[in-house]
Amino acid sequence: MYPALPANATFDDLLLACDSDLADQARRQRCLVCGNAVHSDNYPRKPRGRLRKLPLEHDLRLSLCCARHGCRKRKTPPSLRFLGRKVYLAATIILISILREGATQARMRRLSALVNVDRRTVERWRTWWRDAFTATPFWRIARARFMPPADEARLPGALLQRFAGNSLTQLVALLRFLAPLTGGQVHAL
């Protein structure tokens, strides 16, 4: 389903590949306004909460627009890398929140060394899941899919467990599940 990734691909590479896949799907559909073909029209968007310096392509929000002069209707596919207006990298939020499940002192030190954030920042991200995410119209509808209900105090770990497969497969499934939050239809973030 996804373009082949090198064996040493980082998690960021994986997310970028997923986003390219979503953009390809959107490119195969024609302009919703005039029915013309659409083409790539990416724009720069600097994500906050960046783990480390990455190649320039990681700072591009993949987007499309109608190829017909005079229409140019923009079409922005969902993204696994950008979570709504807050523009935090989805990967950062999720990885940190997951690592935070059972955060021992040693783990916390390792995490801080890895992502260069302090406890306060981690707490802010955890609060995002607990308060902001649970208040989105997206989640208010989507949570009905989970039976028994997911424990909202333990997001996103509580969601992750509901997807099958190994931890990487689960993570990708979770990010795909969250994709509608980034597609421009939900503005409550």
Q: Using CB under 5 A as the criterion, which residues of the chain lie in contact with Zn ion when the complex forms?
A: 31, 33-34, 36, 66, 68, 71, 73
Amino acid type, 186: V
| CB of 52 or CB of 69, closer to Zn ion | 69
167-178 and 11-28 helices, crossing angle to 10° = 40
Q: Which residues contact 152 (CB under 8 A, 6 or more apart)?
A: 130, 134, 143, 158
Least distance to Zn ion from the beta carbon of 35, Å? 7
For the bound state, the minimum distance from the C-beta of residue 39 to Zn ion, rounded and expressed in Å, comes to: 11
On whether the CB atoms of residues 5 and 17 are closer than 8 A, the answer is yes
Exposure of 15 in the CB half-sphere (CA atoms within 13 A): 26
Minimum distance, C-beta of residue 38 to Zn ion, in the bound complex (Å)? 8
Is the CB of 66 or the CB of 174 nearer to Zn ion?
66
Indicate the residue among 73 and 176 with the shorter CB distance to Zn ion: 73
Q: Give the nearer residue to Zn ion in terms of CB position, either 45 or 68.
A: 68
Residue 118 one-letter amino acid: D
Q: Closest distance between Zn ion and the C-beta of residue 33, in Å?
A: 4
Cα 56–Cα 62–Cα 66 angle in degrees, nearest 5: 135
